[in-house]
Amino acid sequence: MAEVQGGDGVSLTVTSADRDEGGFLTVSGQIKNSGGEFWIADNWRGDERELRKNGASMAGAALVDQEGKKKYLVLRDTEGRCLCTKFDGGGVKAGQTADWYAQFPAPPAETGKVDFQVGAMPPASIELSESE
């Protein structure tokens, strides 16, 4: 669907963005560390105090609907834990890949395209689909 490159040898690929009947949108993909050092995902957890306890995770990810002028944040449980990937060991080893997911409130049905953003990565423009 989309791939973006970070300045630290890390690339993020979005492989799916599926709506479900419950009003949620699950975005998933892979992270590849092509750099020569261990990549630490701590700046992807977001700035909010509640998100700090998620550690190195996708908790700071967001969807931006440019046309609808709306931003959607990763869903959380009642204890502030994100409904998203938490990276074992805090990141991804050099030369390795890791699967990830993040769950959001689903944008309106007429919204077919959003930008996925996390950390300092450039936005990835993705098409939304209905889950089967």
| H, E, C per residue of the chain | CEEEECCCCEEEEEEEEEECCCCEEEEEEEEEECCCCCEECHHHCCCCHHHHHHCCECCCCEEEECCCCEEEECCECCCCCECECECHHHEECCCCEEEEEEEEECCCCCCCEEEEECCCCCCEEEECEECC
- Let me know if 78 is exposed, middle or buried by CB neighbors in 10 A (0-12, 13-18, 19+): exposed
Give the model's pLDDT for residue 89.
84
The list of the chain residues with pLDDT below 70 reads 51, 129-132
CA angle 4, 14, 55 (to 5 degrees): 85
Give the model's pLDDT for residue 130.
62
Give the model's pLDDT for residue 42.
73
Q: What domains does the chain contain, in order, with CATH numbers? A: 2-125 (2.60.40)
Give the model's pLDDT for residue 13.
96
Give the model's pLDDT for residue 66.
92
Give the model's pLDDT for residue 1.
83
The per-residue pLDDT for range 41-68, each reduced to its tens digit, is 877 887 777 767 777 899 999 999 998 9
